[in-house]
Amino acid sequence: MILKNSSHPRLSFFLLGVVSNFVAFALAFIFINHKLAVRARMHADPQIAGLWGVIEVHQLPLANPDGVLPDQTDRLQKPRWYFENFTELQLVQLLRRCELRPIQKSILLDKRFWTVTSNACILLPPEPVIWSLAPRARGLIYLALANCPSNYSQCFPFRFPPEMFREHLKDSGLQPGDIEKVKRLAYTNAGAVCFTDLNPLHDVLKPAEFENLVAALYNVPAYTLRLVVPPDADLDQLIKYWGRGGREKIVSPLIKGLARVPGGGAINIAQLLPPFPRSRLYTYPEAWDDPNAAREDCFFTSMNFFNETANTSFFARDFTRKTLADEFEVVEGSPTFGDRVLFLDAKGSGIHMCTYVAGDFVFTKNGINRAEPWVLMRMSDVLAIYFGQHPGDGRTVIYRHKDKAALAASTAQLPAE
């Protein structure tokens, strides 16, 4: 099992700044082919078997159609670096740490490109400087910019494991010269290759080439899973597994009915999910006529997994923290259906949460970016994106909801108010 376990973490992971910096990680789940129609075809993987039964795995590269940027207004803004809560001295010190070339330093330190306010320094970098930055300098500057939501592109960069970045560019349909242009604008953060400067590329690529790049960047390697139920299946085990969360009576007729199909039956796992994930699976927030949809990040999604109606209290980090402490326990060993998997960075802060389904697959919605759908993903892909080439920099912790008896016992031990 690829999941790692650890002792109970500090629950400081709900710091909004930390979550915001990692919200767009979900844009990193990239699976590139050079035609969108080709990407949309499903490819069968070998079956997986376990306590969940036998599951057929099919790859479903998911993307908004026609090469359209779902966040185009924000993503294609002209470069405007907003250094929130920076003094002039702090900005000068940051730029000096970047080891800029003399011409770059003279331009970026030129106050004619600056606007200084009471709580920020705003810098308008000329486009030639954007193109000329070394990866290290770009990484340092963009990491500082990522602390402020006003810098949309830097807050929500596209992230790739290094080897995946190279392969995806190779398969994107771009010409070698255009691939080099993309590489020039890439930088490294936490072991992952990041890319955010779409605006400069929009100005130099032909429309068809830019459309290929957009389709590649926004393509998500989602999966569909089908549960196969042969006549001799262990029905009690299947009902127990997929009926967690007090849902055994709900899934029992369906699973038993599949076993009665001559030769056995099969069904999409989506039909066995609770109402909240089932209704959102493979959809984008922008498709929902709900002003709160875009706010439903990974923590909100995971905590509402078994709820018939979404509990909006989980928008509040204190409520989420208290619920985890009061109603969940950290478990060792293999996860089971409905367990929450928390990703912690090296400092013990939470950077992502998803819900375990079966095998190597989790249900996830990464952050508050409206361009990110709700999907079934491979946990191995998620780990590669969040921890990059440095898995030792973080760990995962499995949270399981306490049963009613355990909840009653823990409540009885609470002191009277």
Q: Which domain-ending residue is among 161, 183, 217?
A: 217
SS3 string, 338-357, reads CCEEEEECCCCCEEEEEEEE
Mark whether 107 and 124 lie in a shared domain. yes
pLDDT at 215: 75
Mark whether 148 and 268 lie in a shared domain. no
Mark whether 16 and 52 lie in a shared domain. yes
pLDDT at 22: 34
pLDDT at 290: 87
Which of 79, 139, 148, 149 is CA-nearest to residue 107? Answer: 79
Is 417 among the domain residues? no
Mark whether 317 and 338 lie in a shared domain. yes
Mark whether 232 and 371 lie in a shared domain. yes
Mark whether 34 and 163 lie in a shared domain. no
120-144, pLDDT tens digit by residue?
999 999 999 999 999 999 999 999 9
pLDDT at 6: 40
Is 311 among the domain residues? yes
Mark whether 31 and 149 lie in a shared domain. no
Q: Which domain-ending residue is among 191, 217, 243?
A: 217
Mark whether 199 and 86 lie in a shared domain. yes
Is 371 among the domain residues? yes
Is 1 among the domain residues? no
Enumerate residues 6+ apart whose C-beta is below 8 A from 357: 52, 225, 269, 337, 363, 376
Mark whether 99 and 118 lie in a shared domain. yes
| Domain extent at residue 190 | 72-217
Mark whether 256 and 205 lie in a shared domain. no
Q: For residues 326 and 304, what is the distance between their CA atoms, to the nearest angstrom?
A: 16
Query: From its phi and psi, is residue 67 left (phi > 0), alpha (psi between -120 and 50) or beta?
Result: left
Is 315 among the domain residues? yes
pLDDT at 166: 81
Query: CB–CB of 25/56 below 8 Å?
Result: no
Q: Which domain-ending residue is among 198, 217, 236?
A: 217
Query: Which residues in the chain land under pLDDT 50?
Result: 1-44, 66, 389, 410-417
Total of domains in the chain: 2
pLDDT at 408: 56
Q: State the pTM of this model.
A: 0.70
Is 7 among the domain residues? no
Return the bridge partners of 56, or none.
226
Is 3 among the domain residues? no
Is 271 among the domain residues? yes
∠274-315-358 over CA atoms, to 5°? 30
Q: For residues 161 and 391, what is the distance between their CA atoms, to the nearest angstrom?
A: 12
Query: CB–CB of 30/192 below 8 Å?
Result: no
Mark whether 234 and 278 lie in a shared domain. yes
Mark whether 89 and 234 lie in a shared domain. no
